[in-house]
Amino acid sequence: AQSVAQPEDQVNVAEGNPLTVKCTYSVSGNPYLFWYVQYPNRGLQFLLKYITGDNLVKGSYGFEAEFNKSQTSFHLKKPSALVSDSALYFCAVRDSNKAAGNKLTFGGGTRVLVKP
């Protein structure tokens, strides 16, 4: 079975400081990894994904994430956080093995609060 862990329920950071949201995963095959963001009373918006290739993935709004196979991690980062980055962030994984089914499994979410 595939799973995702986001160890922090909330991350607090001052505006202008670096932001990191942690994610670790477990799949039997190779992972497809995703980050989504959710603003209040909204659906999920795609930020970035790792399918294959370069371990450092760049996405929307200045976010990036680094795939680390040995640590089974896919941490989300932003060099300089903005107050508008305050939201709920979800990491998700899908097993690239088709036999596992095309199902996306989410972590519990991390709330990011960026203070002015």
Partner 1 sequence: DAGITQSPRHKVTETGTPVTLRCHQTENHRYMYWYRQDPGHGLRLIHYSYGVKDTDKGEVSDGYSVSRSKTEDFLLTLESATSSQTSVYFCAISDGTGGGLGGYTFGSGTRLTVV
Q: Which residues bind partner 1 (CB under 8 A)?
A: 4, 6, 9, 32, 34, 36, 42-44, 46, 49, 51, 90, 92, 94, 96, 101-109
| Residue 44, C-beta contacts closer than 8 angstroms, at least 6 positions apart | 36, 37, 38, 90
Minimum Å distance from CB 14 to partner 1? 26
Minimum Å distance from CB 57 to partner 1? 12
**CB-wise, 42 or 80, nearer to partner 1?**
42
CB atoms within 10 A of CB 95: 22
**CB-wise, 15 or 75, nearer to partner 1?**
75
Minimum Å distance from CB 112 to partner 1? 15
The answer to whether 76 and 90 have CB atoms below 8 angstroms apart is no
Minimum Å distance from CB 3 to partner 1? 10
Sign of the CA dihedral with 69 first, then 86, 38, and 111 last: positive
Euclidean distance between CA atoms 48 and 63, whole angstroms: 8
